Structure 1
Amino acid sequence: MGPITGLATIATALTVILVVAGLAVVVLTLAVVVPALRETRGARLARQVSIPRWYLHPATSH
């Protein structure tokens, strides 16, 4: 197989690379964003400041 010299070959290769890279970005974005959106505020707060879940229950704030 010779070197890539034709404009059509270069354009095709760049298009394929662009599509594959775009799909990779979309998949990685969904893999990070969707779980982050599903997480509740209470879970984030409990993890961030290490407060036990039972302590955050509203019944304990009397």
Structure 2
Amino acid sequence: MVSIPEYYEGKNVLLTGATGFMGKVLLEKLLRSCPKVKAVYILVRHKAGQMPQERMEEMIKCFEVY
């Protein structure tokens, strides 16, 4: 049995719902716990007058606090 960081080492991950509560938690945990993940792709949709790029930038600002 391999550990979670070993499993994701060198892999690409697609995460949908990354701007939601659980998506943010999962993305943060994945980036913190699996430093050798190759790439994380997130799918962000247009919502409430915000473009996907704006929503993603807002989410990244939350991560910078920690």
- Same topology, TM > 0.5: no
Higher helix share: 1
TM-score of the superposition, structure 2-length normalised? 0.25
Higher-Rg structure is: 1
* Greater per-residue strand proportion: 2
